[in-house]
Each structure stands twice: as C-alpha cells, then as structure tokens.
Structure 1
Amino acid sequence: NIRFRYVRDAATGQAQPELVVLDAGLAVKLSRRDRRNFIEVFHAIAMNDGRRAGQLMLERSPGDRRRVVDEEGFVSGVAALIGSLRSGGIALGQVRLGDVFGNMLSLACDHRVKLETGFVTVATSIIVIEGVGRQLRPLVDIILAARPLLVEAFTQRLW
C-alpha cells in the first residue's frame, strides 16, 4: 500500500508532502481453528488476563506437552509480561510491541512451548509493522483500538 498526502508542519503551518509505504511482507491465512485460538489469546491480553493468555497458548500448543519445561513458570511469565504493560494502556509511543512479542516468543522458547505457525507469523508481522505505526501515530493505544473488533469476534464467534 502506498499513500501520498500533505501534512501541515506545526511550526511553519506549511503543508509538506509525505509518502507512506506500508508492506509488512508477511502473510498468513489462518485456519478456522488457528483464527479462534489467536482471537481468544488476543482477547485475554486485551482484557488484561495475561494468565489466561499463557494458559491458552500452552493448552493449544501443537507440540508435545510432556516436553514443556515448567508450565507454571511459562504461564506466570506471560501473566507478568502482560500485567507490566497494562498499567498505562498499550500505546506505541510508550511500549515497544516488538519487545513484548519478542519476550513472549522467548518465554515459549525457554519453556519449550511450541507455538502455532500462524501465531508466530502474526506476531512477527506485528513486530515489523510496529515501526510504521510508531512513525504514523505514536500514541495510538492498540488494545483500546482493537477491543471492539475483538469483542465482536469473540461474542459472535467470527472464527
């Protein structure tokens, strides 16, 4: 996607041209099951229930649960990570989502929790898009913006 627009400079009042190129370069078509799993995990995060998000990730792991190292440590780690973010909302200007998703992926790796390929691809896409979002609108609260869509998908079972 390419967008060209004029942006008024706050200091001078003059319109300056701006070219925005948005292409994460990653695409995934989630199966019905993967879509449901992602929506439920993201819904738990949006509702500040990091513990539930960790449990869902663990329960829906496509890997052998016997290989997981310290399940409770994984769930507690995800809960602590999400809890630390929610104190002031998730605003791109304040929180680096790449770090958040990176920490979640590291927790999964450390605890040997195999994640669904679709989840990892979506997380990676969010990491890539974060830089663009930070440039365009640094103070947007992603969870607040996504909450109505998540609630609709969750309540209407749009998966």
Structure 2
Amino acid sequence: MHPGNILVRVAQSKSSRKRLFKSRPHVIFLDVGMTAELSKSDRVNLLEFFKSVALRDGRTAAECTLRLSKQQNCPNPQAFIEEVTKSFDFWGTSEGDLVHPADCMRQLLEQVRRHKVNIDGNVCTVMVTTLVLEGWQRKLDPEYDVMHTLQTLLFRADWAESLSYTIEGLMAP
C-alpha cells in the first residue's frame, strides 16, 4: 500500500443548517495487495501479544512472539526472552517512555531477527501492516497517543468480545 491508495471521504453538508452530529470521515483503502488469514490460535496469540505490549510486559511479549510460528528455530529462547524483557523494562521508565511505540516495535523486530526467531508469514504481514498504518497515523496526527488507545480498547471487555466476534467473521475459512 502507498498513500495514493488511501482516500478520505468526508460527507458534504447539503444544507446550511447545523447538524446535530457532525459526520466522521471514512478512510478507504484501494488495492491493498497483500492479504493474510490467521488461524484462531494465531489471532488469540496476537491479541495477547498486543495486550502485553500495551502493559509493557516484556516477558509475555517475548513468549507470545516465540509462539508466532508453528516451527520455532530460535537457538536460545531464554536469551531472547531476557533481552526483550530488559527492553520493555527500559520502555517502562520515564526516560524510555519518550521512545515512540513504533520505535519500540522496530527494536523488538530487530531482536527477533538477531535471535533468529521465526514468525509465520501471515502473522508477520499483520505486524508489518500495523506498523505501516501506525506510521501513517503519526504523519496525519503526531499528537495522537496510539498506546493510550491500544490500552483503552484492549482492556474493555465488551470491545474485546466484539473484536473477537468481528475477527471470527472476517477470518473464517
């Protein structure tokens, strides 16, 4: 995807009267190219991964990452877990809090590469797409706090249940 494949549609007011509710813009994606289908276990694991990132729980994030492949070839999983935990511990400090969440994810993916952690292609597609979308969001509104939104949404039980139902419907074979 590239910016030329993204449209923003805003409803035009046909009358000069004030509306009770202002319309919200709609983002339209054209020619998304790559698609991915995740298994139920991958969806559950990915949701747990994002929750651990929102909580800055490095150990759980690393353990989830190691489960993102059906065949894991990481030569030293414990070293990977320890390095990721150390990074997340830093990100939880006041100094580390200044590091943008996307930069944290990029560092995590670099740790994945260095430790030869396997991530299945479909899961990797979702993760990379998430980073691309976050990058666009940052360009559109640099003040928007994506981590706050992630924390709010992931820990609302009604939203998580709704998300699970929606994902099941979208990803059903």
Instruction: Calculate the TM-score normalised by the size of structure 1.
Output: 0.69
**Please, which runs of 5 or more residues in structure 1 have no aligned partner?**
6-19
Taking every aligned residue pair, what percent have the same amino acid on both sides?
23
Q: Is the 8 A contact 1:44 1:50 kept in 2?
A: yes
Q: CA deviation at 1:120?
A: 1.1
Counterpart position of 1:130: 134
Counterpart position of 1:95: 100
Cα distance 1:134–1:59, how it changes in 2: closer, same or farther (>3 A)?
closer
Give the 3-state SS of the residue equivalent to 2:127 in structure 1: helix
Q: Is the 8 A contact 1:63 1:113 kept in 2?
A: no
Q: Deviations over 1:126-157 (max 9, x none)?
A: 22223311122112222210223222379749
Asked if residue 75 in structure 1 is aligned to residue 112 in structure 2, the reply is: no
Matched to 2:7, the amino acid is I
Give the counterpart of 1:31 among 20, 27, 39. 39
Task: Number of aligned residue pairs: give it.
Answer: 141
Cα distance 1:119–1:81, how it changes in 2: closer, same or farther (>3 A)?
farther
Structure (1 or 2) with the larger CA radius of gyration: 2
Q: Deviations over 1:97-130 (max 9, x none)?
A: 1x33332222122212111323311221122223
Taking the aligned partners of 2:123 and 2:84, their CA distance within structure 1 comes to 15
Asked if residue 104 in structure 1 is aligned to residue 104 in structure 2, the reply is: no
More relative contact order, 1 or 2 (CA 8 Å, 6+ apart) = 1
Counterpart position of 1:47: 55
**Please, which runs of 5 or more residues in structure 2 have no aligned partner?**
1-5, 11-25, 169-173
- Which residues of 2 match residues 51-70 of structure 1 at below 5 A? 51-64=59-72, 67-70=73-76
Q: Is the 8 A contact 1:34 1:118 kept in 2?
A: no
Q: Is the 8 A contact 1:54 1:78 kept in 2?
A: yes
Cα distance 1:87–1:53, how it changes in 2: closer, same or farther (>3 A)?
same
Counterpart position of 2:143: 139
Give the 3-state SS of the residue equivalent to 2:8 in structure 1: strand
Give the counterpart of 2:8 among 3, 19, 23. 3
Give the 3-state SS of the residue equivalent to 2:82 in structure 1: helix
Structure with more strand by fraction? 1
Q: CA deviation at 1:34?
A: 1.1
Taking the aligned partners of 1:73 and 1:51, their CA distance within structure 2 comes to 11
Cα distance 1:23–1:4, how it changes in 2: closer, same or farther (>3 A)?
closer
Q: Deviations over 1:20-50 (max 9, x none)?
A: 9774944323221111010011111111211
Give the 3-state SS of the residue equivalent to 1:114 in structure 2: coil
